[in-house]
Structure formats: structure tokens, C-alpha cells
Amino acid sequence: MSRSTRINGSPVVPPSDASLVECEPGVYSILHAGTSFEVYVTENCIEVDGHPLSYEIKDPRQWTRSAGLAGVLGKATITAPMPGKVVRILTAAGHVVTAGQGIVVVEAMKMQNELKSPIDGVVVKIAVSENEGVAAGAVLAVIEVAG
């Protein structure tokens, strides 16, 4: 039952012979092999000397959603990353789309943002209509892998 730490998607073993101090909450000074590192740890990112890194902690005691679920289930759900208004729908149910193709345009913070399909597939559902206000996390469209 040990935790495993993944940095930028790969498992990583931390050095055992480093000196570490927490200087401020979430800010660490690490000395290793004579080299000095400054590390910021936040909820979604770690920065080491200006290099941003993504992280993931696999704790077998906790059930976590896998980021690769879309690929496994053959389905991708496009959700609104923040509250906004649907200004345009660029495709329709039944249409074949490719990864990176725009599906819905949402206006938020005075900017129009195109939400793209993460996979190649078929649009099975457009869950919103133009001019509709949407909350963060609202489902906008569902794409299924074709075939």
C-alpha cells in the first residue's frame, strides 16, 4: 500500500540524500549534490526553478478518476471550464469530427473560446443551444469514437 508519485506522467523516485526546508507555505529550498533548487508546490502544478511540471499521486487507498478514461470508454464529454454563454455551435449530432476540431464556442470574460474535440469520433449529443448560459462543469457535447 505505498503511494507512487508521477511527475509529468512518469514515475519518479526522489533522492534520499537531499536537504529540504520549507521556507514559506508551499515553497521549498532543496540542496542536492551541491545544487540549489527553489520549488513551488500548488494544487495543480509544481515549479522547479521556473520549470512547470504536472503531477499525480497514486494512492491505492483513494479511488481517483483516470485522465485516460475518455480513451478507455471510447467517449469524450466536453464540459464548460468556466461559467459563460454559448455563442455558436460549430457542428451537430451525427457529424464526424476529428481531434482538435472546434465543437462549441463559449464566451466568457469578454473572449470567445472554441472548445475542441479531444478525440476523433462522432458527435452523439449537443447538450446546449446558442445563447444559453452555462455553469462551470456543464456538459456541452458528447463525442464517441466511431465504429
Partner 1 sequence: MALPRKILIANRGEIALRVIRTVREMGLRSVAVYSDADRAALHVRKADEAAHLGASPSSESYLNIPKILAAARHHNADAIHPGYGFLSENAAFAAACEDAGITFIGPSSKSIGLMGSKTSARRVAKAGGAPIVPGTEEGITDAAEAETIANGIGYPVMLKAVAGGGGKGMRRVDRAEDLRSLFDSASSEALRSFSDGSIYIEKLIENARHVEVQIFGDHHGNLVHLGERECSVQRRHQKVIEESPSPLMARHPGLRERMGDAAVKAARAAGYFNAGTVEFLASDSGDFYFLEMNTRLQVEHPVTELVTGLDLVRLQIEVAGGAKLPFAQSDISLRGAAIECRIYAEDPANSFFPSPGRITSLAEPSGPGVRLDSGVYPGWTVPLDYDPMLSKLIVWAATRDQAIARMQRALAEYHIGGIRTNLSLFRLILNEPSFRAGDLHTGYLDTLLKTQPEFQPAPPAHVPPIAALALNQQKKQEAPAAAAVPSAWLAAGRAEQLR
Q: Copy the grid coordinates of residue 57.
A: 499521486
Q: Please state, in angstroms and as integers, the Cα–Cα distance from residue 139 to each residue in 20, 39, 81, 101, 121, following that order.
A: 43, 36, 10, 17, 17
Is 54 one of the binding residues for partner 1 (CB under 8 A)?
yes
Is 113 one of the binding residues for partner 1 (CB under 8 A)?
yes
Is 91 one of the binding residues for partner 1 (CB under 8 A)?
no
- The DSSP call for residue 68 is T
Residues 6+ apart with CB under 8 A from 134: 80, 83, 84, 85, 86, 106, 128, 140
3 phi/psi in degrees, rounded to 5: -80, 150
Specify the residue, 50 or 68, whose C-beta has the smaller distance to partner 1: 50
Q: Which stretch binds partner 1 (CB under 8 A): 70-78, 80-88, 90-98, 119-127?
A: 80-88
Give residues 117-146 in contact with partner 1 (rule: CB under 8 A): none
User: Which of 75, 79, 83, 101 touches partner 1 by CB under 8 A?
Assistant: 83
Which residue in 105, 123, 127, 122 sits closest to 114, CA to CA? 105
Give residues 6-35 in contact with partner 1 (rule: CB under 8 A): 7-8, 10, 12-15, 18, 20, 22, 25-28, 30, 32, 35
Q: Please state, in angstroms and as integers, the Cα–Cα distance from residue 64 to each residue in 6, 11, 68, following that order.
A: 14, 17, 11
The nearest distance, CB 28 to partner 1, in angstroms, is 4
Residues of the shown chain interacting with partner 1 in the complex, contacts defined by CB under 8 A: 3, 5, 7-8, 10, 12-15, 18, 20, 22, 25-28, 30, 32, 35, 37, 39-43, 45-55, 57, 81-83, 108-111, 113-116
